[in-house]
Amino acid sequence: MNRNYMELELKKATSHLAKLVYGGNFIRANAVTMKRVCGNPRCRCAIQNKKHISLYLCRKQDKKTKMTYVPVRLEEDVKKKINNYHKIKDLLEKISELNYKQLKLDKESV
């Protein structure tokens, strides 16, 4: 990688990251789907054993894993926010690696 290319990559990644962060539109979580019964004795989940598939968010907080149920009406929005969070994480990592390369830190010997 030459220097100009690296600077261009760094600029691209940084401006992409800035846009995502500026929107404030992110949630740190891993999405998991689980089957569940809703509690209504007349629902198909109770009568026909056709369980509902629900979205939950898993996140570590104070060394504990927290599970949070996501209502159906918020699923799409929440998935987008999680996606943004992962993009931000990837971009941070990319920018960090580019800085290693730019400073040639990996090639320095102790």
Which residues bind to Zn ion, rule: CB under 5 A? 38, 43, 45
Nearest to 80 by CA among 40, 23, 17: 23
CB of 40 to Zn ion, least distance (A): 5
Residues counted in the chain? 110
Specify the residue, 21 or 43, whose C-beta has the smaller distance to Zn ion.
43
Q: Are strands 52-61 and 30-36 parallel, antiparallel or unpaired?
A: antiparallel
Minimum distance, C-beta of residue 23 to Zn ion, in the bound complex (Å): 35
- Specify which residues 61 forms β-bridges with: 64
CB nearer Zn ion, residue 72 or residue 103: 72
Shortest approach of Zn ion to residue 48 CB, angstroms? Answer: 10
Closest CA to 89 of 22, 23, 8, 28: 28
> Residue with CB nearest Zn ion?
43
